[in-house]
């Protein structure tokens, strides 16, 4: 029974990729399991915190300089920078050229903690990006029809449908989630105290 597990996994992955390409209307054929990359990187390889000269943790000024100096992005300077309602957060959203359609970068306390790249599916396909990441980082931590996720050492890289690659600093992200939960529980308590006054 244990010997059937790898075959079941291969069949599941082939079916998933086939269903994904049919969903997108792509004509590309999924290669048979024999032609898939035989080797994958060991799980100990640390996940990258960046793409090209852009990385998680960089400052707003460094990010703006990096975008302005990279021909893959059509960065227009401060016009592409937005300040979010939370006073400690900002967002840069810009268009790209060739392989990248759009890119966004979310910052907290002046440092990047989320980077997202929506790729041009006319030039690059989901399967190629997925196999490239498997070759570099090993099998994903989780896989479903919507996304493949690699997560370790406080970094999360995901490929989301139709074709967006995201990098997230999980320490900052989890801190924001915890603060939001704390604020929500405080609001609930204050509301209950107010209602008790009647």
* Segment 57-108, tens digit of pLDDT: 999 999 999 998 888 898 887 777 777 666 678 888 888 888 999 999 999 9
User: Is 157 within a domain?
Assistant: yes
- For the full predicted model, state whether its pTM sits above 0.95: no
Give yes or no for a contact between 21 and 133, defined as CB atoms under 8 angstroms apart.
Answer: no
User: Is 93 within a domain?
Assistant: yes
Per-residue model confidence (pLDDT) at position 184: 64
Per-residue model confidence (pLDDT) at position 190: 64
Per-residue model confidence (pLDDT) at position 127: 92
Note the pLDDT tens digit of each residue in 144-166: 999 999 998 899 999 999 899 99
User: Is 82 within a domain?
Assistant: yes
Q: What mean pLDDT do residues 6-21 have? A: 34
Window from 4-13, 156-165, 168-177 with minimum mean pLDDT: 4-13
- Indicate the burial class of 38 (C-beta count within 10 angstroms; 0-12, 13-18, 19 or more): exposed
User: Is 36 within a domain?
Assistant: no
Per-residue model confidence (pLDDT) at position 54: 92
Per-residue model confidence (pLDDT) at position 87: 63
Window from 27-31, 99-103, 166-170, 180-184 with minimum mean pLDDT: 27-31
Q: What mean pLDDT do residues 14-41 have? A: 42
Number of domains in the chain: 1
Q: What mean pLDDT do residues 32-47 have? A: 56
Give yes or no for a contact between 100 and 164, defined as CB atoms under 8 angstroms apart.
Answer: no
Enclosing domain of residue 124:
4-25+50-194
C-alpha dist (Å) from residue 137 to 29, 105, 152, 157: 24, 23, 10, 10
Check residues 37 and 144 and name the one with the higher pLDDT: 144
pLDDT band (50, 70, 90) for residue 31: very low
C-alpha dist (Å) from residue 127 to 83, 137, 144: 35, 15, 14
User: Is 14 within a domain?
Assistant: yes
User: Is 34 within a domain?
Assistant: no
């Amino acid at each position: 029974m244990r010997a059937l597990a790898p075959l079941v996994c291969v069949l599941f992955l082939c079916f998933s990729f086939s269903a994904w390409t049919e969903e997108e209307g792509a004509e590309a054929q999924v290669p048979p399991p024999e032609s898939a990359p035989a080797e994958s990187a060991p799980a100990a390889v640390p996940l990258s915190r960046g793409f090209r000269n852009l990385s998680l943790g960089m400052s707003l000024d460094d990010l703006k300089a990096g975008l302005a100096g990279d021909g893959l992005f059509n960065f227009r300077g401060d016009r592409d920078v937005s300040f979010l309602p939370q006073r400690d957060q900002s967002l840069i959203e810009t268009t790209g050229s060739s392989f990248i359609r759009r890119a966004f970068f979310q910052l907290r306390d002046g440092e990047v903690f989320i980077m997202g790249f929506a790729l041009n599916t006319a030039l690059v396909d989901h399967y190629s990006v997925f196999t490239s990441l498997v070759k570099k980082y090993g099998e994903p931590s989780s896989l479903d029809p919507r996304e493949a996720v690699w997560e370790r050492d406080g970094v999360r890289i995901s490929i989301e449908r139709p074709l967006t690659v995201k990098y997230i600093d999980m320490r900052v992200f989890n801190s924001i989630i915890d603060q939001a939960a704390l604020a929500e529980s405080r609001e609930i308590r204050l509301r209950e105290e107010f209602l008790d006054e009647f």
